[in-house]
Structure 1
Amino acid sequence: MPALRALAAAVFLAHPAWADTATETAERAAADLREAIATLDQAEGARNRIAALTQTIRAYELGLTALREGLRSSAIREDEIRASFEAQRDTIGQLLAAMAAMEAAPGPLVLLHPDGPEAAARTGMILTSVQPALEAEAAKLRADLQEIARMRALQVSAHSALQEGLSAAQAARTALSQAVQDRTDLPQRFLEDPEELQALVANAETLEGFARGVARLQSDIGPPMEDFASAEGTLPLPVVGTLLRRAGEADAAGIVRPGMLIATRPAALVTTPWPATIRYRGPLLDYGNVMIVEPAAGYLLVLAGLATVYGETGDVLDAGAPVGLMGGDETALAQGAGAERPETLYIELRRDAEPIDPAPWFEQTREE
């Protein structure tokens, strides 16, 4: 019996309870995603459709990210539970057999110990001390099995939410593109691309040279609306994503660039993190579509790699205004496909035409 008691204690300690399981996290993320989907539907009739659609598309993207991370953590947790079951199969079998024997044994027979009443009393005391630990471990095993069942149900529910969200997000992006195209109340610095800018585009050989040329053009940005320099370290990233490469880090080809690279999901929405004037938007070299905005006199924010760009040169944008969409097909992503091929947004920040490290300016990429 001492061996059985030690066995029960060892098994119990091998299965610590999670105060907040990965399944609960994923379930909350699924609920948040469904709430964002509902908001997408409501945004279509909002008075300020562009702002409403932008906010709800971003909420959907954040909810999608949280749900997929939750599902990934949930899958890891399920593997851990199953591996624990497999590793302790014999131990668990002994545990269940002991409990079954204790439940099946009639109470009076326990007293009929071959060594007499004193041995029977000791046996009863040992069983009494072991039983709570056995019952506690049985409850933990039952909870683990219930958690696996919740994970399976969550996977079915999440697949439905992802499909529903894909349809809602695609409709919202279409509505956003149309709303931007129909916009007529946006202040503008000038009505068409300056001839100097058109010449820069025609003669551009590198993004570096083009950005320097744009910095030299007369901006006529007007008085600054807010102190951009004081915003260092507080800006949100223009897109929901993760840092892939910092400024000055060589890529696979050994090329070093002064900006940072953000991995994004397909069709992710790109916004301006600060009130700004569009200085250039459109295709450039092999960067896809490029958006260059001026958040303050002397500063340029370069966003390269977009599939779609919104607005016209000279548009004055509020913080958080949409400036475009990333490329890629999110259908496979919404269907729960395992492998993801991320899109990449290149971000460069220039002050007085010279590139500076953009990472410290954004809350998500600054280093403490």
Structure 2
Amino acid sequence: MTIAAAQDKKEDTLKQRDQQLEILRGEQRRTAENEAALKREIEQLGADRRKLNQDLIDTAGRIRDLETKTLATEARLKPLDDQDAAIKKSLDARRDVIAEVLAALQRIGRRPPPALLMSPEQALQSVRAAIVLGAVVPEMRQEAEKLAAELHALMQVRQQIALERDQLRNEQTAIANDRARMAALIEERQKQQSEREAALIAERVRAADLAQQFDSLKDLIAALEKELDPTTRAAREAARNDARPAMAAFRDPGRLAPATAFASLRGQVRVPVNGVKIRDYGAPDGAGGVEKGLSITTRAGAQVTAPADGWVVYAGPFRSYGQLLILNAGGGYHVLLAGMERISVDLGQFVLTGEPVATMGTASHIAAILATGSSQPVLYVEFRKDGIPIDPGPWWAATEIEKVRG
């Protein structure tokens, strides 16, 4: 083979490598464009995530407010039910008066309903009619008036009970609707996050693979070009310099961080669940030691929210505590929540203050450990600084700790 032929063969080989290089450059450009588009989408998702998180926080706030109203309604119903039972007991003791009133009405030609079928309203009408018509003998009149007063009180109590139960049903319906919305929001958040992160990881892997091929071909072309004569090599290099694309560095999305240092939140933190405090930090734990956190009995299915911004560093079952969630609040502070039935955030996720993170079950998962004997769900809350349990009391907002005071 002549020198000219050999030179031509090298030129052909170089052209083939150049063609491969251009193909790879095109793929790399498309990959870079795809990643740029994904980054823009993630940035948009960042805005969407802010909206989504705000919607989650707002919905969680509504649920907690409704849970508070429900607790208040149930608290009002309890004495009303007791009052209803007491009045009915008193009325049962006055059956002879009712019988006398009915007999008196029958004597003057009235036909009152049978005593066993009579409602409080009908009984009150009958007693009042008997009094007005003078159907009862004078010595029974005072008893009849007492009976009328009790029947009237019973009717008022039952009307109030009916109103409270209607309100309770409305509150429970609203809670159910907001919980359904919450579930959909959480599902959408997890779906968006997993889809975008998976796509971005795939694009980065592809970009790294292409970059590796790109570099190896560059090395090959450089080696081949060394064999070209200086004039040919200079001409090719000058032509390539005008079109060589820049290699943009791939950047990770910015990391989220707590808005306020946890140490600065004293007196501002909201208790993460509605309920009644049964054990406080430093109290005897029933096993010869002292409590290292706060224990709160809750309603079945109560919502648990993040008391502060932080990263999820643990989310899952732990020994006999049920589900355990640990948030890194920054500055060496950690928040531990235990006793939930379901956790709705993922490991490594950054959560915001007031964001829903878990749901209580229908019974206690940690009552045995806490020696409370409670059959209700119990949420255990513990704050730690540099791994050591600390008193969470100074962090709670005054109005919040009053709500859960046992």
Q: TM-score, normalised by structure 1?
A: 0.54
CA distance in 1, matches of 2:256, 2:160: 56
1:365 maps onto 2:371 in alignment: no
CA distance in 2, matches of 1:250, 1:344: 17
- Counterpart code for 1:307: E
What is the CA distance between 1:357 and its match in structure 2?
1.8
1:325 maps onto 2:359 in alignment: yes
What is the CA distance between 1:236 and its match in structure 2?
1.5
Query: Which of 272, 277, 282 is the aligned partner of 1:238?
Result: 272
Per-residue CA shift, 1:254-310, capped at 9, x if unaligned?
564311211112221111122223232222222222111133412211111222223
- Counterpart code for 1:146: M
Identity of aligned residues (%): 30
1:353 maps onto 2:395 in alignment: no
Per-residue CA shift, 1:148-201, capped at 9, x if unaligned?
33145347636754774575355335324313423539xx9xx9xxxxxxxxxx
Does the CA-based 8 Å contact 1:260-1:346 persist in structure 2?
yes
Does the CA-based 8 Å contact 1:180-1:311 persist in structure 2?
no
Does the CA-based 8 Å contact 1:50-1:180 persist in structure 2?
no
Query: Which of 341, 345, 350 is the aligned partner of 1:311?
Result: 345
Name the structure 2 match of 1:146: 155
What is the CA distance between 1:86 and its match in structure 2?
6.8
After superposition, residues 247-326 of structure 1 pair within 5 angstroms as 247-254=281-288, 256-326=290-360
CA distance in 2, matches of 1:90, 1:176: 62
Does the CA-based 8 Å contact 2:306-2:356 persist in structure 1?
yes
After superposition, residues 222-233 of structure 1 pair within 5 angstroms as 225-233=259-267
Name the structure 1 match of 2:204: none
Per-residue CA shift, 1:80-110, capped at 9, x if unaligned?
444566789999999xx9x9998567xxxxx
Does the CA-based 8 Å contact 1:305-1:345 persist in structure 2?
yes
CA distance in 2, matches of 1:259, 1:101: 64
What is the CA distance between 1:138 and its match in structure 2?
8.6
Larger Cα Rg: Structure 1 or Structure 2? 2
Does the CA-based 8 Å contact 1:247-1:260 persist in structure 2?
yes
Name the structure 2 match of 1:109: none
- Counterpart code for 1:266: A
Counterpart secondary structure, 1:323 = strand
Does the CA-based 8 Å contact 2:339-2:378 persist in structure 1?
yes
Counterpart secondary structure, 2:321 = coil
Total equivalences in the alignment: 257
Name the structure 2 match of 1:67: 73
Query: Structure 1 residues 163-172 or 146-155, which shifts more?
Result: 163-172
**Backbone CA RMSD of aligned residues:** 4.6
Name the structure 2 match of 1:206: none
Does the CA-based 8 Å contact 2:337-2:379 persist in structure 1?
yes
- Counterpart code for 1:319: T
Does the CA-based 8 Å contact 1:49-1:179 persist in structure 2?
no
Cα distance change of structure 1 residues 144 and 169 upon mapping to structure 2, 3 Å threshold? same
Cα distance change of structure 1 residues 272 and 155 upon mapping to structure 2, 3 Å threshold? closer
After superposition, residues 86-125 of structure 1 pair within 5 angstroms as none
CA distance in 2, matches of 1:296, 1:143: 62
Structure 1 residues without counterparts, runs of 5 or longer: 1-45, 106-132, 192-220, 330-339
Does the CA-based 8 Å contact 1:53-1:176 persist in structure 2?
no
Cα distance change of structure 1 residues 302 and 246 upon mapping to structure 2, 3 Å threshold? same
Per-residue CA shift, 1:60-98, capped at 9, x if unaligned?
32233222222223212323444566789999999xx9x
Does the CA-based 8 Å contact 1:258-1:355 persist in structure 2?
yes
What is the CA distance between 1:342 and its match in structure 2?
1.3
CA distance in 1, matches of 2:331, 2:299: 32
Query: Which of 174, 187, 191 is the aligned partner of 1:182?
Result: 191
Query: Which of 47, 51, 54 is the aligned partner of 2:60?
Result: 54
CA distance in 2, matches of 1:155, 1:270: 26
